[in-house]
Amino acid sequence: MKIGTPLEVEAGENRVAMTPDSARQLQKLGYDCVIQSGAGAKAGFSDADYAAADVEVVEGAEALWSTADIIAKVRIPQEEELDRLTSDKTLITFFNPGGNEAGLEKAKASGANVIAMEMVPRISRAQKMDALSSMANIAGYRAVIEAGNNFGRFFTGQVTAAGKVPPAKVLVVGAGVAGLAAIGTSTSLGAITYAFDVRPEVAEQVESMGAEFVYLDFEEEQQDGAATGGYASVQSEEFRNAQLAKFRELAPEVDIVITTALIPNRPAPKLWTEDMIAAMKPGSVIVDLAAERGGNAEGTVADEKVVTENGVTIIGYTDFPSRMATQSSTLYATNIRHMMADLTPEKDGQINHNMEDDVIRGATVTHQGEITFPPPPPKVA
């Protein structure tokens, strides 16, 4: 069978779902590889690079979609792409199945099998296919770099002949995948780094990275609801108040705030309020990674950088992985080829869409003319 990757049609998207390296790995699974001319250019991979890896290069989307049996791409497919699906094809991509009813209906009508990369269950076995995590890792790193680029001082403290410079103070809110990457980047740049999460079990990890975990003045356990599948649950009003009180205390102290707090399928919790922003020093920077879901900070505008009256910069870019397209394409393409390895147990270049496999079942959103989203709850081990 042939696996193919088109040029992303979404404006501003620089990533590509297949790299010359991942193509070599896909070939070892028995597949022929094909790419649309120019698809890798913005991520630093030329047509010649692909040709050198024995990937067939075709001109135009029509040629790509008609020749490939399996299409691997990055962004939620647009209508013109879904129109190219047929019952003999498999599409592997981010799909946003929870908010894309029209897309699901179209995919169903085509009869194609669609695997949504954001639906890969967060279990150990599937980590190598977990594209949400690989992209969040990049976003966390890039958030700190972006903050540094908009901050007028060093991260690390210095004593030089020209004077003494205090270290920057960074607060990371939410220590999931993106948060931990931000913490690691911030500490390695020499900033004093604080981190908060509603899941107290991450405190040890935070501290092992050289950051200080922020504890709340709260009677009960730090977290008041059971976490599910590695994700946080909704908090009580009392807990939220204790959290906001702690943040109010920190606001005048910190120079940079990176917010990453997320609860699945809900709008982002508002955690950095207007009065906290007003209390921050001029020149401070907030990078709000939750901007796409409404933002953790009040005043965040998705895809924009705004400067408040008191001189605080709030960055709400939602495309950090695309801003590091070579790195993110490399990791995403690796996620895809691991997914393909699961789908090709015999390494014979034939897809085996095994709906008994938890990972494949969890990620499949349409199968043989049926919508298979949401998947049944994972079996408890």
Continuous segment of H or E residues that includes residue 360: helix 358-363
| Binding of ligand NAD by 260 (CB under 6 A) | yes
From 126, 87, 112, 106, select the one nearest 339 (Cα to Cα): 126
Active site residue 122: yes
Residue with tokens 């990890």, as numbered in its chain: 205
Q: Assess contact for 179 and 195: CB atoms under 8 A.
A: yes
Using the minimum distance from each CB to ligand NAD, give the nearer residue, 148 or 179: 179
- Among positions 40, 103, 148, 174, the unique one binding ligand NAD when judged by CB under 6 A: 174
Q: How far is the CB of 204 from ligand NAD (least distance, A)?
A: 14
Is 357 a catalytic site residue?
Answer: no
Dump the DSSP string for 150-187: T-SS-SS-EEETTEEEPPPEEEEE--SHHHHHHHHHHH
Q: Given candidates 214, 262, 277, 285, which one binds ligand NAD under the rule CB under 6 A?
A: 262
Contact flags string 213-242 toward ligand NAD, x per CB under 6 A? ------------------xx--x-------
Q: Do the beta carbons of residue 259 and residue 273 sit within 8 Å? A: no
**Restricting to residues 315-334, which ones interact with ligand NAD according to CB under 6 A?**
317-321
Q: Which of 46, 49, 122, 235 is catalytic?
A: 122
Angle at CA 127, nearest 5°, toward 265 and 30?
Answer: 120
Based on the shown chain and the rule CB under 6 A, indicate whether residue 179 belongs to the binding site for ligand NAD: yes
How many other C-beta atoms lie within 10 A of the C-beta of residue 27? 16
Record the tokens describing residue 234, joined without a space: 């909704």
Phi, psi angles (nearest 5°) of residue 282? -60, 145
**266 included as an active-site residue:** no
- Based on the residue annotation, tell me whether 133 is a catalytic residue of this protein: yes
Between 81 and 130, CB nearer to ligand NAD? 130
Query: Rule CB under 6 A: is residue 184 a binding residue for ligand NAD?
Result: no
Residue 228 is given by DSSP the state: B
**Residue of 66, 231, 236, 303 with catalytic role:** 231
SS3 content of the chain, % helix, strand, coil (to 5): 40, 15, 45
Torsion, Cα 357 358 361 363, to 10 degrees, reads: -130
How many residues belong to the site for ligand NAD (CB under 6 A)?
Answer: 35
Q: Which is nearer to ligand NAD, 115 or 289 (CB)?
A: 289
175 binds ligand NAD (CB under 6 A): yes
What the block records as the tokens of 58 is 């075709």
Q: Are strands 2-5 and 32-36 parallel, antiparallel or unpaired?
A: parallel
Axis crossing angle, helix 177-188 with helix 131-149, rounded to the nearest 10: 40
Given the residues 32, 69, 130, 255, the one annotated as active site:
130
Active-site annotation holds for 78: no
Shortest distance, position 164 Cβ to ligand NAD, whole Å: 34
Query: Which lies closer to ligand NAD via its Cβ, residue 132 or residue 351?
Result: 132
Site for ligand NAD in 130-169 (CB under 6 A): 132-133, 135-136, 139
Write out the binding residues for ligand NAD, residues 270-289 only, by CB under 6 A. 271, 289
Catalytic residues: 122, 127, 130, 133, 231
Residues in touch with ligand NAD (CB under 6 A): 132-133, 135-136, 139, 173-179, 196-199, 231-232, 235, 260-263, 269, 271, 289-293, 317-321
